A and B are shown apart, each in its own frame.
Chain A
Amino acid sequence: MPKITFIEHDGTVHTVDAELGASVMETAVRNDIASIVAECGGGCTCATCHVYVDEAWVERVGPPSPDEDAELDAAFDVRANSRLSCQIKVTEALDGLIVRTPSYQGR
């Protein structure tokens, strides 16, 4: 099982097992990572699952789709490495992925 590390804004680190094919958002929610709100449950319509992909992983994770980029308009402090975690699928290639959560998801 691939492992994903979430580093929350306050510095709390969670390294958790991720199911292949699930999204990074679902992985966070199953592991009670509170700074991923995911109000729309993965619909790419709420931007409350915003994460910053660790610089070392940006290339492997890839850029957001046009739809996701549009939804990022509703997120805050968006940076070049911003993604909506519900739109990142867990694959073997992402084993070891590190993402950080922003200080605020809009609620």
Chain B
Amino acid sequence: MSDAIKTDVLIIGAGPCGLFAVFELGLLDIKAHLVDILDKVGGQCAELYPEKPIYDIPGIPEITGQGLSESLMQQIKPFNPTFHLGEMVTGIENIGDPLYRVTTTAGKTFECKAVIIAAGGGSFQPKRPPIAGIEPYEDKSVHYAVRKMENFRGKNIVIVGGGDSALDWTLNLQPIAKRLTLVHRRDDFRGAPDSVNKMRALVASGAMDLKIGQVTELEGADGQLTAASIKDKDGKIDRVACDAMLPFFGLTMKLGPISDWKLDMDEELIKVDVSTFETNRQGIFAIGDINTYPGKLKLILSGFHEGALCAQRVHHYVYPEKRLVFQYTTSSTSLQKKLGVA
């Protein structure tokens, strides 16, 4: 394990609420690192509706999901937050008063005085195909991501899907696979045209197979795949021998490890104190879509407000000796210095 990264606050989730919290913390001289399982910032705004307009951000009559993510990044730039993308926070352990050790799937460890959970609807995770009996194969011979390409060398691989992930991995793995079969429900691909052309050329030259249909059944004992059945449009079944399958059906939000963190929850939401947005665990906060309290509205503007209030309480843990003085960005030279405008 590498050395722990020390920071004031660790923010779980780089959606709009996690991003804006950086700003409110920054004004109070509190430094933050952010972790998100997505490979980009912006949470739902960037992943689910980048092109759609939002009409209820105060003072901004219209902005797209992507536009809002970009503006927030610009707004928090003076505070220089560090992002750890493509990794999921798995554990939070209390090691002080309060001091937390937070771990991620990438093997990183953080030590921080407060944790802000801005996890929205949960972490974005790959959709599992509804193939009966798929569970025992998962992580053994059915994989939703490629961690090490070498693990696929010399194998008969089936890749399922028609987007960029499916096409990119088809092109990357084809040279090292024994045989690669791409399975897609229709003979039309939405991935980058260049990748589609390259894939079609490989099929035409006989270097790989393309099957149009949907995977309906898996075979093999003890989690080791030996064959997959593919049903075409007319119901005809084709059996393909394979040792590994990679399904790419996009992402969905799942609560994930949060339910193991000993937090008071209401269904899949974290209960908070509305004056501080602190959870039942001292020093752990929850803001944005992931929290609940009487009257909660799952709106971006509510999450912004929650970020501002929780920063006040976080200050108490980071600077226990310092008294907090309320200031406006318009008139405070000290705040303007932090923002780099004075």
Name A's interface SS: loop
A39 to B47, CA, bound (A): 11
Across the interface, which residues of A come within 8 angstroms of B130, CB to CB?
A: 76-77, 103-104
Surface stretch bound by B, among A12-20, A51-59, A67-75, A90-98: A67-75
Report the nearest B residue to A75, measured CB to CB: B249
Say which size band chain B's interface belongs to: 20 to 34
Interface string of B235-252 (1 = CB under 8 A from A): 000000000000001101
Given A69-B186, A107-B127, CB of A41 within 8 Å of CB of B49: yes
How many A-B residue pairs have C-beta atoms within 8 angstroms? Tell me. 58
Interface string of B12-26 (1 = CB under 8 A from A): 000000000000000
Across the interface, which residues of B come within 8 angstroms of A107, CB to CB?
A: 127, 252-254
A89 to B128, CA, bound (A): 29
A39 to B252, CA, bound (A): 8
Name B's interface SS: loop
Across the interface, which residues of A come within 8 angstroms of B48, CB to CB?
A: 39-41, 43, 45-46
* Chain A min CB distance to B235 (Å): 10
Cβ contact of B52, chosen from A43, A75, A103, cutoff 8 A: A43
Q: Indicate whether A48 reaches chain B with its CB closer than 8 angstroms.
A: yes
Interface string of B26-55 (1 = CB under 8 A from A): 000000000000000000000011001000
Q: Indicate whether B296 reaches chain A with its CB closer than 8 angstroms.
A: no
Q: Indicate whether A78 reaches chain B with its CB closer than 8 angstroms.
A: yes
Q: Indicate whether B281 reaches chain A with its CB closer than 8 angstroms.
A: no
A41 to B254, CA, bound (A): 16
The reply to whether A39 and B253 form a contact with Cβ atoms under 8 Å apart is: yes
Across the interface, which residues of A come within 8 angstroms of B121, CB to CB?
A: 39
Q: Indicate whether A80 reaches chain B with its CB closer than 8 angstroms.
A: yes
Interface string of A33-46 (1 = CB under 8 A from B): 00000011101011
Report the nearest B residue to A102, measured CB to CB: B130
Given A70-B190, A74-B127, CB of A43 within 8 Å of CB of B49: yes
Cβ contact of A47, chosen from B188, B214, B250, cutoff 8 A: B250
The reply to whether B129 and A76 form a contact with Cβ atoms under 8 Å apart is: yes
* Chain A min CB distance to B80 (Å): 32
A80 to B233, CA, bound (A): 8
Given A43-B48, A74-B250, CB of A69 within 8 Å of CB of B214: no
Q: Indicate whether B113 reaches chain A with its CB closer than 8 angstroms.
A: no
* Chain A min CB distance to B188 (Å): 7
Across the interface, which residues of B come within 8 angstroms of A106, CB to CB?
A: 127-128, 249-250, 252
A39 to B122, CA, bound (A): 12
Report the nearest B residue to A106, measured CB to CB: B127
Report the nearest B residue to A47, measured CB to CB: B250
The reply to whether B190 and A73 form a contact with Cβ atoms under 8 Å apart is: yes
Cβ contact of B249, chosen from A69, A74, A80, cutoff 8 A: A74
Across the interface, which residues of A come within 8 angstroms of B254, CB to CB?
A: 107
Given A74-B127, A77-B130, A80-B233, CB of A48 within 8 Å of CB of B252: yes
The reply to whether B252 and A78 form a contact with Cβ atoms under 8 Å apart is: no
Given A69-B186, A73-B161, CB of A46 within 8 Å of CB of B250: yes
Given A39-B48, A80-B233, CB of A46 within 8 Å of CB of B252: yes
Top 7 closest pairs, chain A to chain B, by CB: A74-B250, A104-B130, A106-B127, A70-B190, A40-B48, A107-B252, A73-B162
Residues on B close to A: CB < 8 A?
48-49, 52, 121, 127-130, 161-163, 184-186, 188, 190, 214, 233, 249-250, 252-254
Known A39-B252, A107-B127; 5 more pairs at CB < 8 Å:
A70-B188, A73-B161, A74-B127, A74-B163, A106-B127
Instruction: Write 29 A-B pairs (CB below 8 A) sorted by A numbering.
Output: A39-B121, A39-B252, A41-B49, A43-B48, A43-B49, A43-B52, A45-B48, A45-B49, A46-B252, A47-B250, A69-B186, A69-B188, A70-B162, A73-B162, A73-B184, A73-B186, A73-B249, A75-B249, A76-B127, A76-B129, A76-B214, A77-B130, A77-B214, A103-B130, A106-B128, A106-B249, A106-B252, A107-B127, A107-B252
